Amino acid sequence: MDFGFTTAAYVVAAVLFILSLGGLSGQESAKRAIWYGIVGMAIATVATLIGPGSGLWFVSIVLVALGGAIGWQLANKVQMTQMPELVAAMHSLVGLAAVFVGFNADITINMVEAAKAAGESVEGNFAELVAKKTPVEIGILMVELSLGIWIGAVTFTGSIIAYGKLAGKVDTSAKQLPGGHMLNLAAVLGSLLMLVLYLGGSGSWTLILMALLAFFIGYHLIMGIGGADMPVVVSMLNSYSGWAAAAIGFSLGNDLLIVVGALVGSSGAILSYIMCKGMNRSFVSVILGGWGGSSGGAQAEVEGEQVAIDADGVASALEEADSVVIVPGYGMAVAQAQGAVSDLTSKLRGKGKTVRFAIHPVAGRLPGHMNVLLAEAKVPYDIVLEMEEINDDFPDTDVVIIIGSNDIVNPAAQDDPNSPIAGMPVLEVWKAKNVFVCKRGQGTGYSGIENPLFFKDNTRMFYGDAKATITELLSKIS
């Protein structure tokens, strides 16, 4: 099979990937977009396996099948609530692959140079490609593989820590070693020094030290980011994994990897910026691990008590209401209550009431998490609204039902300048006539920030498992 076929297949795959990425911008086109991506990846994989230099295609097929089987098993076992940490874990594998490919490229360069010195020929598609390069091109390749190793190493350890924080296996508070950002800066400067020494011919040990420094940077950066910013971190690591893939593409001379890596890298960076804007966070501050920190003042103390209500009380308020807004959060996903919430929505709409959903950009710890769950439960797309579309409507809303959300409905973001989420745009649910909060208990949630909303006069706490309480509520509505 010649290069012309492989190139043409890569172009088709790249177009399908672009269509896939574009289709993910809307709920109605998302399913079709996923199939574009699947077909594109299938074409790219087959073209690579049967293309030039693919002498070990049988081994590749076995490895692809093995990896696919493992992925299938993981996908079937992972709950929707675990999707954020699964994404972080997948990013770590991309980073580690970039590290391995970079070191393999360095070994190949050394092998080719040794063969040339001995007057011997080299075998292998990549080795033959390296052998044809000029000294200047070899230098460019060395820079490319160094960047791939560095970005991949940062992505690997950063993603592992992000996975740990999202899974609750690592403390979600922002923590740094003594020296803080100065340690990160020293590691970056050390990495640059290793790059200069490597290009100067000092040997592969410089790459090993560079990788170790990058591993530290990834670990220390993400440890320095608090739980409230984890959704942005996941998106940011997605961007890093894309640039790592692009670096792999440059090292291997694979145009499709370059295109796909650039798509993932740029879209992840843009999404991270949008999310930072939605949370009123500085993009640079987040990616540097909270540079600048908080104001240092004490958070305002919350006075009053949380008043509980039972299903009869909530049902009575819903019977009298004309307009209802439901705010879903991570607690709904944990309880797998989306089906019961969809049934409640249908029942209320059947009684002639206006029911809508309010979605915060970072609800559920992952962009689009709540949208996916609601779509899965057959909630109509046209009543699922983003924060900026519905925030002005809360003063005219009779009942707001919050299901497992905390930070995205916290008025401290507006009222307390010393709060960790100060300035973050939130859903202004407290302006509604009645607010009911479905919550397991009186805890402070994932980020550990107290919510004054729970103590307001128009708020009542509807305690219990979200699926059980919503199901009980359904039985109370005539």
Q: What angle do CA 446, 301, 288 make, to 5 degrees?
A: 45
Share of the chain above pLDDT 70, in %: 90
Longest dimension (CA), the chain: 90
pTM over 0.85: no
Is residue 417 helix, strand or coil?
Answer: coil
CA distance 251 to 258: 10
Encode pLDDT of 22-45 as tens digits. 887 776 777 888 899 999 999 988
pLDDT for 2 beyond 60: no
Identify the helix (H) or strand (E) that includes residue 435.
strand 434-439
Q: Label residue 55 by pLDDT band (50, 70, 90).
A: low
Q: Is 279:419 a contact under the CB 8 Å cutoff?
A: no
The domains of the chain are located at 1-77, 81-287, 311-476
Whether 13 contacts 41, CB under 8 Å: yes
- Could you give phi then psi for residue 328, rounded to 5 degrees? -85, 150
Compute the average pLDDT of residues 229-243. Answer: 81
Give the pLDDT of residue 470: 92
Contact criterion met (CB below 8 Å) for 378 and 342: yes
- Compute the average pLDDT of residues 126-137: 80
Residue 113: name the closest of 208, 203, 247 by CA: 203
| Per-residue pLDDT at 1 exceeds 70 | no
Q: Name the residue with higher pLDDT: 175 or 293.
A: 175
pLDDT tier for residue 124 given thresholds of 50, 70 and 90: low
Please give the order of strands across the beta sheet that includes 354-359.
384-386, 354-359, 323-328, 399-403, 434-439, 459-463
Query: What are the φ/ψ torsions at residue 246 (nearest 5 degrees)?
Result: -65, -40
What letter does residue 308 receive in the DSSP assignment? B
Q: Assess contact for 287 and 264: CB atoms under 8 A.
A: no
Q: Which position has the higher pLDDT, 253 or 401? A: 401
> Exposed, middle or buried: residue 422 (CB in 10 Å: 0-12, 13-18, 19+)?
middle
pLDDT number for residue 53: 58
Superfamily of domain 311-476: TPP-binding domain (3.40.50.1220)
DSSP single-letter state for residue 362: T
pLDDT over 60 (residue 135): yes
- Give the pLDDT of residue 324: 95
- Cβ neighbors of 410 (< 8 A, separation 6 or more) are 419, 421, 426, 449, 451, 452, 453
Euclidean distance between CA atoms 127 and 143, whole angstroms: 17
Paired with 459 in beta bridges are 435
283-304 pLDDT, tens digit each: 776 666 554 444 455 566 666 7
State whether the Cα torsion 35-36-39-40 is positive or negative: negative
* Residue 339 contacts residue 361 (beta carbons within 8 Å): no
Q: Distance between CA 25 and CA 267 in Å, rounded?
A: 11
Give the Cα separation of 297 and 55 in Å (integer): 64
pLDDT value at residue 460: 92
* Burial profile 445-463: b = 16 or more Cβ within 10 angstroms, e = fewer: bbbebbbbbbebeebbbbb
Read off the pLDDT of residues 177-216 as tens digits, 9 standing for 90 and up.
888 788 989 999 999 999 999 999 888 899 999 999 999 9
> Annotated catalytic sites, by residue?
407
Instruction: Dump pLDDT digits (tens) for 100-112.
Output: 989 988 998 888 8
Burial of 386 (0-12, 13-18, 19+ CB in 10 A): middle
The residue that leads in pLDDT, 437 or 6, is 437
Distance CA 348, CA 369 (A): 24
How high is the pLDDT of residue 346?
93
Say if residue 248's pLDDT is above 90: no
Are 453 and 430 spatial neighbours (Cβ–Cβ below 8 Å)? yes
Range with lowest mean pLDDT among 13-22, 28-37, 317-326, 445-454: 445-454
**Nearest by Cα to 328 from 368, 280, 276, 278:** 368
Q: What is the pLDDT of residues 67-89, one digit of tens each?
A: 888 888 887 887 766 777 888 88
Tens of pLDDT, residue by residue over 409-423, are 989 888 888 777 777
Please say if the pLDDT value at position 227 is more than 80: no
User: What is the C-alpha separation between 452 and 410, in angstroms, rounded?
Assistant: 7
Higher pLDDT, 334 or 280: 334
Which residue is it, tokens 């709950």? 79
Bridge partners, 436 (sequence order): 401, 460
